[in-house]
Every structure is written in C-alpha cells, then in structure tokens.
Amino acid sequence: MRKVVFLFCLFSATNLIAQNKQLLYNFTDIPQTLMTNPGADVKYKWYAGVPFLSGISMNMSSSGFSAYDLFANDGVDFNTKLRNVLSKTTHNDVLSLNQQMELFSGGFKLGNNYENKGYLSFGLYQEFDFLSYMPQDIATLAIDGNKNYIGKRFDLGDLSAKAELLSVFHIGYHKKIQDNLIVGARAKIYSSIFNASSINNAGYIYTTTSTDAYYEQIVYSNLQLNTSGIAQYNDANNTTNVGTDVKKGILLGGNLGFGLDLGLTYYPQTNLQFTASVIDLGYINHTKNVESYSYKGFYNYKGLVPHFNNENAAQANYQDFKNAIVLDTLHTKYTTWRPTKFNASAQYSFDEERVIDGTCNCEGSDPSIFYKSAVGAQLFVMTTPKSPLFAFTTYYKRSFSKSVQMKATYTLDSFSYTNLGLGMSTKVGPVNFYVLADNLLSYADISKANSLSFQLGLNVVFKE
C-alpha cells in the first residue's frame, strides 16, 4: 500500500512542462519554426502541413531520478529504491511530459514578388502538458510515517500541480519592416478539454513529544484541487463518451482562453543575427464542468498518538479530526495561466556563397548571399508556479545542399548536462520532411535517461 501511495504522490502532482524546442527554434527550413518565433526569417511562397503528420512532438524529463532507479532488476528491494530516490531528490526536482500534434497548418505570402505585405500563417494543434514537482515531504510521510521524524515539520505545500489537455487555434502575421528587421505576432484561442490544477497550497503536519511522554500532533491544511471537464465522469448515470467530449473540446467546445506570441529577427550585419520571442502569454477561464475539492482546517491533538485512518480504534479522535480538517466540494469558476516561454538567440553565419540562379536557402537581409554554415547560442526560460526553468543551448547548422540541412545542439538544463541533439530537414520537390531528436547519448539505455524528446513532421513547401 505504501508503494501505491508513494507512486500516486509522485505522478499525480502535476504541472505544465518545460517545452524547450531548441532544435526547432530558428531552424527556418522547417515551417513549424514559426510556432517558436512568429518573427522568424522564413522565405516561403506558401506551405501546407500534412494533416495529423506535420508536427508531432514528445518530451519526457525528470531532474531527480530515472526509471532505472526505481525498476532496475538488480535484486535491491523496491522499498530501498524508493528511499534512495527520496534521499537524492528535493521538492524542486521536476517530472515532466509534453505532447503535441498538429491537426492542420498552413501559411502564405501576402502580395506578389514585387510587394512585401507580410506573411500569414494559421493552424490547429492538440497539446497535453504534465509536470510534477517532487512532493518529497508528502512521499516520505506516506512511506515511513512520522515515527522516526518526531520534531520534523512535513510541508504540505510541496504539492504544486497542473495537468491539461487542450487544443489551440492560432493565426499569425509577420512582416519585414526594414531590410534588417522582421517582427511577428500570433493570436491564439485555447480550448481546454480537461484540466486539473492544484497550486499555492500550504500546510504542515508536525509531531512532538511533551515532558510527560504524551504526543502533540498538529495538522494545518490549506489544500485545493480545481478541475474542469472531469466532474461529469464522477456521475454513475453519466452517458457521455470521452471520445465525443474530446472532439467537442478540440472544436472550441471546452473552456476557452486567449493567448499571444510575439517575436522578431534582427540583422545588425548580413551574417550576424539576433532573435527573440515570447510564447503563450495567455490564460484560460474555466467555467464549464467545474468541480473543486478543498481540504482545509487546523487540528491540534495532545495525548496518545491517534489512528486517524482507523475509525474503530479511535472513533472520537477520528471524528474530531474530520470536523477540524474539512473536505469540501465547490463549483466555482477559476482561471489558469499558460506557462510563458521566452527565447533569445545570437547566430554567426559563414561559408558565404553568391547566388547565381536566384534560388537559394538564404539567411540574412541580402537575398543574393547564401551562407552554408552557422554557429549560435540560445537561451530558453519558462515560468512555473515555483522558480523559472532555464536552458542554454549552443548549436551548429549546416546546409549540405538545397535539399538537406542539419542542426546539432548541446544543451544545459535542469534535466541533463549531456544533452546532445541532432536535427535534419530534407526537401524532395515540394515535400519537406524533418526529424529532430535530443539526448542522443541516452538512447543506448533509455531506462537510465533523465530526458528524451523528439519531433518530426511532413509538409508541402514552395519557397520564393
């Protein structure tokens, strides 16, 4: 039972994930780079994503431990493994999962070859987010109890959580407003299908002994879990189908919100580039199928240690505890904020070639110059209910031909110090295929990996 409680604490405390896409960011041969910077320097006449195949991505990360630490077949008792994991993690360690799938996408240039009226892009994608801060004190109490922790204050505020399934309609516009400056913006309508949110929790459990060998037990709880799109499934008479509800939610039938992306690309000189973007500056109002559970109150017991989970052993104490720490169900609307992401990069291009036939995969303000190679660095920051998450990436890009481009990255973040990534974009006629993968060293034994991610997609692209 303790194993079950621990795993529940480990995987049910959820929040939104670190969504760094360092391989995709500023990889302008791939149309989906516009989703990481609406001001990216893309040069397409038009493009269309192959429905359900144009953008598929998955990211799984853990900063504190790996699956191998818990489930290795090494003869070590599972309870021992649990305690080892607890001993080397803190309440700032993170578990995360992010999945995205584009349902459709496209974009086209406004104006003819002699005009520059900007570029319009649009689409719809589905996203699932999961991130858990390690509830260390709660997990320790669940496994060991408080017998060996007299005088320790177990922090219930370790539980800070969100999980969400949503769809996003978006439309973006970007324009070259000067020869060396491109700016862009993207408006988003969020439709939340399912949400569970438990943040800003507080409380503690504290046990101490008095001089006459009696115990004093103090419990203060200020916990709340907000949910939307889930309450109807608690009704035994509910006849709705989950698949139907998901389809309805994707098509703006869920709880709605609004967001904004902003970005720019600037060239101080032809082969030197700076970019920046702010992604998902937005919120969602939860008003439909809302149900919240609060567990709030204060309890102070002096005497023998009561068995709060056994009504027959200490009925009076147990009832006093339930009366003091009240479990209540509410039906009030609430608002959640999207995890806002900030990107910034600097890039130096070299291996210059002059374009003769007028068709190139150019970067820079001068369309007659083509650079085969580039090196750069990128900073990524994402907001969370606790401290922001950071990642720093260095990269090298190379164009081997008009049809094949590659990007290699090295990233330092909260999850790994050995994150090597590699991405490739190919083009056969108008068909563009790309595949990007991080943490390549971990694929030798993924059970020991602290982070894994990949992205792939298929588009039809016509360049200028």
pLDDT tens profile 9-45: 443 333 334 578 999 999 999 999 999 999 999 988 9
Q: Tell me whether residue 298 is in a domain.
A: no
Q: Tell me whether residue 372 is in a domain.
A: yes
Q: Tell me whether residue 227 is in a domain.
A: no
For residue 313 the two structure tokens come to: 């052993």
Q: Tell me whether residue 343 is in a domain.
A: yes
pLDDT of residue 416: 77
Query: Distance between CA atoms of 383 and 64, rounded to whole angstroms?
Result: 19
Query: Distance between CA atoms of 224 and 283, rounded to whole angstroms?
Result: 20
Q: Which residues have a Cβ under 8 Å from the Cβ of 58 and sit 6 or more positions away?
A: 97, 98, 99, 452, 453, 454, 455
What is the domain-level CATH number for residue 370?
2.40.160.40
Q: Tell me whether residue 231 is in a domain.
A: no
Could you read off the pLDDT of 421-450 as tens digits, one per residue?
999 999 999 999 999 999 888 877 776 777
If one counts the domains in the chain, the total is: 1
Q: Tell me whether residue 15 is in a domain.
A: yes
Cβ–Cβ under 8 Å, residues 400 and 426: no
Query: Distance between CA atoms of 294 and 1, rounded to whole angstroms?
Result: 24
Between the alpha carbon of residue 427 and those of residues 13, 437, 462, the distances in Å are 43, 18, 10
Residues of the chain with pLDDT under 50: 1-17, 358
Give, as one character, the DSSP assignment of residue 150. T
Q: Which helix (H) or strand (E) holds 10?
A: helix 2-12
Q: Tell me whether residue 39 is in a domain.
A: yes
Query: Distance between CA atoms of 126 and 165, rounded to whole angstroms?
Result: 8
CA angle 190, 194, 200 (to 5 degrees): 90
pLDDT of residue 59: 85
**3-class DSSP state for residue 87?**
helix
Q: Tell me whether residue 236 is in a domain.
A: no
Domain containing 94: what range? 2-134+167-191+249-285+335-463
pTM of the model: 0.85
The values of phi and psi at residue 8, to 5°, are -65, -45
Q: Which residues have a Cβ under 8 Å from the Cβ of 400 and sit 6 or more positions away?
A: 406
